[in-house]
Structure 1
Amino acid sequence: MQNKQIAERIKALCEEKSLAKSAVLKACEINRNFIYDLKHNDTSPSCDKIVKLADYLDCSTDYLLGRTDNPKINK
């Protein structure tokens, strides 16, 4: 999955759960430019960041990475 798609999944989950992206990133101790960097730069997320986001957003890492379309699978 391309990084842009990872960013879109994070964004969609935040909207679905009525969470501000900035608040989610702050709670996960991730730079506030993280989503922008995924979308516009050639930056790949670390495993640690994906795990933190998946835990906070209550979804699987596989969902964030595009390995499944079901956010709850393998959780």
Structure 2
Amino acid sequence: MNRWRIRDLREDGDYAQKEIAAYLGIDQRTYSNYEIGKRVMPIEHLDALADFYHTSIDYLVGRTDIEKPYPKGKSHESADT
């Protein structure tokens, strides 16, 4: 989890851990544990941070290098149809 980009994005935006924790409605220590990989971040918090930073969860967790978020509200048709 140390490969996550949440710390880099926070620092790039000049935010304190306390500010991001308040945005998520959690304690600063809990957020700190997310950043250092001592605690698993719930999907709800990842989703909120992706919206906050205008990116995707995949970018936050290092699954892609594409920072642009995915389009919302678009339905994806099944390959079977």
User: TM-score band (shorter)?
Assistant: 0.7 to 0.9
CA distance in 2, matches of 1:28, 1:11: 15
- Give me the CA root mean square deviation: 1.9
1:20-67 alpha-carbon deviations (Å, 9 max, x no partner): 2211221121331234323252x2111001011111122211111211
Are residue 5 (structure 1) and residue 10 (structure 2) matched?
A: no
* Bigger helix share: 1
Larger radius of gyration: 2
Cα distance, 1:50–1:5 mapped onto 2, change above 3 Å: same
Between 25-34 and 47-56, the greater mean CA deviation after superposition:
25-34
Structure 1: unaligned runs, 5 residues or longer? none
TM-score between both structures, scaled by the size of structure 1: 0.73
CA distance in 2, matches of 1:72, 1:49: 19
Residue pair 1:24, 1:56 contacting (<8 A) in 2 also: no
Q: Which has the higher contact order (CA 8 A, sep 6+)?
A: 1
Aligned residues between the structures: 70
CA distance in 2, matches of 1:30, 1:60: 21
TM-score between both structures, scaled by the size of structure 2: 0.69
Give the fraction of aligned pairs with identical amino acids, expressed as a percent: 26
Q: 4+ runs of 1 displaced by more than 3 Å?
A: none
The equivalences for 1:25-40 within 5 A come to: 25-38=21-34, 39=36
